[in-house]
Amino acid sequence: MCGVWLQSALRLTEVLKEREAQTELKRLREASVCGDNKETQAQLREAYEESLRIGLQEKQKARDAKIKCVDFQKAQYETARFSLTFILHQMLSKPRILA
């Protein structure tokens, strides 16, 4: 369950940041079309590279969150398996009284 909320939050953050980067990219592109300004083109290139970096960072965060969630679930499984094995061993090792 922890993975669902965390993944949803990460996905929302990723979408918002990408949308923000796209808006900035569109603004700079429109400004570049209006004039042949090298500074505007440099800003456009920088904004594009920043949007790529943000996308990669968010993907890495989501991947890390999935790995943490899987590790947590594995630990839960191992704990449950150990507990069940222990209980079964205790039940089978006790002498039974047949009536």
The Cα–Cα gap between 7 and 9 comes to: 5
Q: Decide if 18 contacts 54 (C-beta within 8 A).
A: yes
Contact predicate 40/26, CB 8 Å: no
Higher pLDDT, 63 or 36: 63
Reply yes or no on whether the pLDDT at 99 is more than 60: no
Q: Is residue 78 part of a domain?
A: yes
99: in domain: no
Type of residue found at 13: T
Q: Report the percent of the chain where pLDDT is more than 70.
A: 86
Confidence of residue 94 (pLDDT cuts 50, 70, 90): confident
DSSP state of 2: H
Query: pTM value?
Result: 0.46
Q: What is the arithmetic mean of pLDDT over 76-82?
A: 89
CA distance 20 to 13: 11
Q: Which residue has the higher pLDDT, 74 or 37?
A: 74
- Predicted local distance difference test score (pLDDT) of residue 12: 79
DSSP 57: H
pLDDT in tens, 1-37: 566 777 777 787 888 888 888 888 888 777 766 666 7
C-alpha 17/C-alpha 42 separation (Å) is 21
What's the structural domain count of the chain? 1
Q: Domain span at residue 38? A: 2-93
Asked, for residue 80, whether it belongs to a domain, the answer is yes
98 in a domain, yes or no?
Answer: no
